[in-house]
Structure 1
């Protein structure tokens, strides 16, 4: 018997979605690494539009 549409067992949410969660984690990691390598490339390292110029300059001094 269902009380307000609730059952004795829960509906599986994570179990059928684990491949999508794993793939999105890998994709997010790879996109972040690509962005970081693009920002730190020699072509854009000293560009005035790069928001990480000061941070990169501090790291290269040490």
Structure 2
């Protein structure tokens, strides 16, 4: 019998979802690395739309 929608035993959440959590974190990490490498590439380094253009210009001077 369920009381207010609560069951006698808790429903497992982490155990069946761990592959998706690992894959999601790996995907997030790889996309962040690709974005960081694209921002620093020669093609986009001097692009005025690049939000890190001023920071990259300071780094390239030194």
Query: TM-score, normalised on structure 1?
Result: 0.83
Q: What is the aligned partner in structure 2 of residue 45 from structure 1? A: 45
Q: Deviation string for 1:10-41 (max 9, x for gaps)?
A: 00111101000000000000000001100100
* SS in structure 2 of the partner of residue 44 of structure 1: helix
Task: Name stretches of at least 5 consecutive residues in structure 1 with no aligned partner.
Answer: none
- TM-score (normalizing by structure 2): 0.83
Where structure 2 has 5 or more consecutive residues not aligned to the other structure, the ranges are none
How far is 1:58 from its partner?
2.6
